[in-house]
Amino acid sequence: MKTIEELLESKNIRVTAMRLLIYKFLVEKDVAVTLSDIENAFEKSDRTTLYRTIKTFEEKGIVHQIDDGTGITKYALCEKGCNCEIENDLHLHFHCNNCNETVCLTAHKIPQIKVPDGFVAENVNLVVKGICDKCSGH
């Protein structure tokens, strides 16, 4: 089991206090987070640093960006085995209309989508909206 430090180093990301904190924050949350979520979690730090940190994480394949249709970009840790860096990871995202949280449904791969002749599909974004398990009282 790698430490966070080792993980960051293995991805050629310099280890800094802020980066460790942000990474831990992402691990603790099991839902996708906005920049503001992170900002609110660390009164102290500057939005720009958080922004650039998350962008670094994204470039290095540690987090992926999620557009869930709320108009605010969200981010979530990539699962192990996720290959965002190379190609798009084709799991679906679920946005709860009740609690407003978005989660990765990594176990649910997106089915093959047919497109008309002449069109070339390169990647797919699939967001399902509805009521999440927590809110539906399962």
Partner DNA sequence: TCATTAATGCACTTCCATTGCATTTGTTTT
Partner DNA sequence: AAAACAAATGCAATGGAAGTGCATTAATGA
Q: Which residues bind its own copies (CB under 8 A)?
A: 67, 69, 71, 92, 94, 97, 105, 107-108, 111, 113-134, 136, 138
Question: Which member of 104, 122, 124, 132 binds Mn ion (CB under 5 A)?
Answer: 104
Distance separating alpha carbons of residues 24 and 34, to the nearest angstrom: 15
Positive or negative: CA dihedral 72, 24, 105, 12? positive
Distance separating alpha carbons of residues 93 and 84, to the nearest angstrom: 15
Question: Which member of 11, 29, 35, 106 binds DNA (CB under 7 A)?
Answer: 35
DSSP-derived secondary structure letter, 77? E
Quote the tokens at residue 20: 């460790």
Site for DNA in 40-69 (CB under 7 A): 44-49, 51-53, 56
**Residue 84, annotated ligand binder?**
no
Q: Which is nearer to DNA, 13 or 110 (CB)?
A: 13
Distance separating alpha carbons of residues 76 and 21, to the nearest angstrom: 15
**Residue 104, annotated ligand binder?**
no
Contact residues for Mn ion, defined by CB under 5 A: 76, 104
Query: Which residue ranges make up the annotated binding site?
Result: 96, 99, 132, 135
